[in-house]
Structure 1
């Protein structure tokens, strides 16, 4: 079982941080491994909505569909794989530290299956590195800093 939690403090209001990060359309902008997000259901951030993602992780191309299973606007978003290479759950939690500062937590957990079982020892450290980069990128975007050109060479 891989279980990785990271967090960051972002100097932006909770409503702004949660709205931006909960929207799957923004995922390719701030997730280091995600290349595309495509809605499979009507475009609404709500329980039951499904989004197909394409990503690259540990040198492999991955396609998977996440379904939103819990959504409390401004507090929590939980998505689980409805279809993909292995069962995974991603949780975002947001907490206002003051009117202009938000703590965001990002948690990924899942059980590698099939070929992914062989990569299990590498997964948790790689997930931790990727999650830290993801949160640093969203912080840079929302705080108005220049995004890292190495992360997104197609931007610029």
Structure 2
């Protein structure tokens, strides 16, 4: 079963500001509640081919995985993929201007869970949807306070 969770929010900050902050994996622990750490395997800044090790907590489990940046359109789109573990996943961010000073940010997580993770796909999707909504709300709060 494919898991495909799409979450959007409008942030009252220009696209450049939102994309610069949210598109820097080093900032992820500040706005993602479940991400504990990010360690770069390659030198920053983010570029196609960049690799980062993430450690997260999700549904009561510790997850360690490596993201590979597979697409980057600065100020517009970032796509990262991981192939390891029971739930290979692709995470993408898109930033679109809304008027002159706001940004619609879209966060999408897609993957094909296997084994037990495959059976729990609907539960995982619901949990991801809740977590992503909270994470984008936190990002909005952080950026609009700047």
Report deviation, 1:101: 0.5
How far apart, CA to CA, are the structure 1 residues paired with 2:70 and 2:14? Answer: 25
Structure 2 unaligned residues grouped into runs of 5+: none
1:63-90 deviation line (CA, Å, top 9, x unaligned)? 0000000000111000000434421000
Is it true that 1:50 corresponds to 2:56 in the alignment? no
> 2:8 matched to which residue of 1?
7
**2:23 & 2:10 partners in 1: Cα distance?**
16
Residue 83 of structure 1 aligns to a residue whose secondary structure is: coil
Residue matched to 1:23 = 24
Task: Work out the CA distance in 1 between the residues paired with 2:81 and 2:67.
Answer: 5
Q: Is the 8 A contact 1:62 1:85 kept in 2?
A: no
Output the CA distance in 1 between the equivalents of 2:115 and 2:55. Answer: 19
CA distance in 1 between counterparts of 2:19 and 2:118 reads 33
Residues in 2 aligned to 1:83 and 1:42: alpha-carbon distance in whole angstroms? 22
Matched, 1:67 2:68: yes
**What TM-score, normalized to structure 2?**
0.95
Where does residue 126 of structure 2 map in the other structure?
A: 125
Q: TM-score by structure 1 length?
A: 0.89
Alignment of 1:145-156 (within 5 A): none
Equivalent pair of 1:65/1:84 in contact (CA under 8 Å): no
